[in-house]
Amino acid sequence: MPSRRDAGALGVLLAHVTLFVMAPPVFDYLQVSPNRAWGPFQTLSAWDRSIRGPVVDEMRPVEALLGVRQNWHFYTTGASRTRHFEVWVDGELWHRSNDREHDFMAGPLANSRLRHHVKDWVRGKRVGQTQPALLNLMVERVRAEKPDAARVELRGLEGRWPGHVQTIVRRASADIPPEAP
């Protein structure tokens, strides 16, 4: 007769198996990027997609409901180019990424929840989603600091490492209407 401890131990075993199925090292990544597989991994990756893929797909709603999706292929090879985000107010540089002399809003812009929006904007990803809100946020904060500011400009810059020479690859600006008296 199985005891309560047996049932608990079975649950623990199932938890291990579930975690392994959701994110086995190597195959978790190859399922997302199958074109990266080489040699014998191509065959194994194809088997993985046809066997584990459907199982993991069935788990998606539960993963989303509990926010426990198991994808761990992060912090891979770093940025291919050096990039900066800049905020200019009335032609004056107020903020530049990782620059202590121009650190307006350095804390909020480095916040890990906002940082990815900024990074994507500089890289030209999801610009339509990010740019209006990012610009409005900057206008609001600039206005709080300098009520008579007339123009805010955001710039994204890119260059080869280590970044001695950079060019502007993204630009957005807003003219601030004077506040009603």
Partner 1 sequence: MNLWERWVEHCFRPIDARVPAALRIGLGTVTVLDMLRTWSHGLVPWLYRVDGEGMARPLAYYLLEPLGPDGPVTAFWVALVAYAFVALGAFTRPAIVVALLASAQLGQVGALTEQGVDHIVRTALLILLFAPCDNRWAVGPSKRREEVPAWSLDVITFLLVLIYMDSGFCKLFRDWNAWTNLAAHPATFRIMADPLSGVVDPVWAYERQWLFRGLDTITLIFECGAFVLLTRARSVWAVMGVALHLGLAFTMKLGQFPYAMLAFYPMFFVPEPKRGAGNAALQQLLGALKRKQTEESAE
SS3 174: strand
In 3-state terms, what secondary structure has residue 83?
strand
Of 95, 124, 121, the C-alpha closest to 108 is: 95
Near partner 1 by CB under 8 A: residue from 49, 119, 143, 151: 119
Stretch that binds partner 1, among 46-54, 80-88, 147-155, 171-179 (CB under 8 A): 80-88
Residue 61 contacts partner 1 per CB under 8 A: yes
CB of 181 to partner 1, least distance (A): 26
The answer for 76, left when phi > 0, alpha when psi is -120 to 50, beta otherwise, is alpha
Number of H helices, E strands in the chain: 6, 4
Residue 169 is a binding residue for partner 1 (CB under 8 A): no
Strand order in the sheet with 167-175: 92-96, 82-89, 151-159, 167-175
What does each C-alpha distance from 180 to 8, 92, 113, 136 come to in angstroms? 68, 24, 33, 18
Can you name the residues that pair with 96 across neighbouring β-strands? 86
The number of residues that bind partner 1 (CB under 8 A) is: 72
Among 120, 127, 135, 169, binds partner 1 (CB under 8 A): 120
Which of residues 101 and 181 has its CB atom nearest to partner 1 in the complex?
A: 101
Say whether residue 19 binds partner 1 (CB under 8 A): yes
| Residues of span 22-41 touching partner 1 by CB under 8 A | 23-26, 28-30, 33, 36-37, 41
The verdict on 114 binding partner 1 (CB under 8 A) reads: yes
Q: Is 115 among the residues that bind partner 1 (CB under 8 A)?
A: yes
- Rule CB under 8 A: choose which of 57, 91, 101, 113 binds partner 1: 113
Phi, psi (rounded to 5 degrees) for 171: -155, 135
Q: Which of residues 124-143 bind partner 1 (CB under 8 A)?
A: 126, 129-130, 133-134, 136-137
Of the two residues 67 and 181, which places its CB atom closer to partner 1 in the complex? 67
Q: How many CB atoms lie within 10 A of CB 42?
A: 13
Pick the binder of partner 1 from 39, 50, 58, 66 (CB under 8 A). 66
